[in-house]
Homo-oligomer: A and B are copies of this chain.
Amino acid sequence: MKLLDIYAKMQDDIQYIERKLEGSVRTEEAELNDASLHLLKAGGKRIRPIFVLLSGRFGRYDIERLSHVAVALELIHMATLVHDDVIDDAATRRGQPTVKAKWDERIAMYTGDYILGKALDVAANLERPDIHRILSKAMVQMVIGEMEQFRLFYRLDQSVRDYLLRIRRKTALLIAVSCQLGALAAGVSVPLSHRLYKFGYNAGMAFQIRDDILDLTGTEKQLGKPPGSDMRQGNITLPVLCAMRDARVREAVEAATRGTTPDEDALKQALKLVRKSPGIREADELSHRYIDKAIGALNELPDIPAKKDFVAIAKFIADRSH
């Protein structure tokens, strides 16, 4: 089954979540309202809601209950994006101006806080202390992941392990929790919800590695932002870490990440060398290993259509070009 078929099959429920997302952030405070809707309308892949819904298929599927989890998780994800944009000084995301660029820093800050508050407000509909506990712990880990990312900016001496720990907190954890909470909200047993967590975790690792590869190899049109954005910011990702085992590439990356205002020529040269290096392939292989692990985690789960959908999505993640 192709990815588009999965989306088509889930269309009604995805649209239901979309309406709930929009409804959840509406407020009479005009700027918070507009900035939040701007963020929502800029789209996104909605991986977290989709993972929530599919995980819910392993239990008593109740779209209303699942929507609380899906909306809360997508809002938490969006809140972190808008706060990241304040710090990153990014002008565009997904081809749209960022809240900071379109409004200002202050509005970006409070829009993030507001969306986070709304996320918790939606989650409060679920009278499940276990879900609240998992959510708050994931939020804390995500922030620590963001801090780690910044601490390691421009650090060419970081290890692959540093990178993996960081994307684990920054990305994989919230995707893992999407599966876990979708399952728990549908009354799936704790052990099976943990299998789904494992699936989400490994799929999330693969997703972020693929994202980091695409940032190097994609076009501006595919990415919605200029390629090489990570290196431009000093964010040293897995393909670059692998590529730097070649001294010539390492020197080029050093030149490109020296000082905080990037030298565009040095950056272009470094990007070119990384793209041609085995680093891309090595990162790609690791991404596929995570996908294999993700699919392996599904083994003990019943053979329902959602399982096949998860497999198809996992395969897509590792090979996607956008």
Taking Cβ atoms with an 8 Å cutoff, the residues of A that contact B are 27, 29, 31-32, 80, 83, 86-87, 105-107, 109-110, 112-114, 116-118, 120-121, 123-124, 126-127, 129, 132-133, 135-137, 139-140, 142-144, 146-148, 150-151
- Which of these, B29, B83, B124, B127, contacts A147 with CB under 8 Å? B29
Q: What 5 pairs across the A-B complex have the smallest Cβ distances?
A: A120-B136, A117-B139, A117-B140, A127-B129, A121-B136
A46: min CB distance to chain B, Å: 22
List residues of chain B with CB within 8 A of the CB of A147.
29, 31-32, 107, 110, 114
Q: A124-B133, A151-B31 are in contact. Are A114 and B140 (CB under 8 A)?
A: yes
Q: Contacts A120-B120, A127-B129, A136-B121 given: A143-B83 contact, CB under 8 Å?
A: no
Report the Cα distance A29→B124, complex, angstroms.
29
Min CB–CB distance A144 → chain B (angstroms): 5
Pair B135/A120 contact, Cβ less than 8 Å: yes
Asked if residues A109 and B132 are in contact (CB atoms below 8 Å), the reply is no
Could you say which of B106, B114, B120, B143 contacts A132, with CB atoms under 8 Å apart? B120
A28: nearest chain-B partner, CB-CB = B144
CB contact under 8 A between A136 and B109, given known A29-B147, A114-B144, A117-B143: no
Chain B residues with Cβ below 8 Å from A87 are 105-106, 109-110
- A192 CB to nearest B CB, Å: 23
Measured between C-beta atoms, what is the minimum distance from A119 to chain B in Å? 8
Chain B residues, CB < 8 A from A126: 129
Report how far A72 CA is from B7 CA in the complex, Å.
Answer: 40
CA distance in complex: A32, B145 (Å):
11
Q: How far is the CA of A110 from the CA of B144 in the complex (A)?
A: 8
Is the beta-carbon distance between A114 and B143 smaller than 8 angstroms?
yes
Partner of A106, one of B116, B120, B127, B150: B150
A41 to nearest B CB, angstroms? 20
18 pairs across A/B with beta carbons < 8 Å?
A29-B144, A29-B147, A31-B147, A31-B151, A87-B105, A106-B150, A114-B140, A114-B143, A114-B144, A114-B147, A116-B139, A117-B142, A121-B139, A121-B140, A124-B132, A127-B129, A129-B129, A132-B132
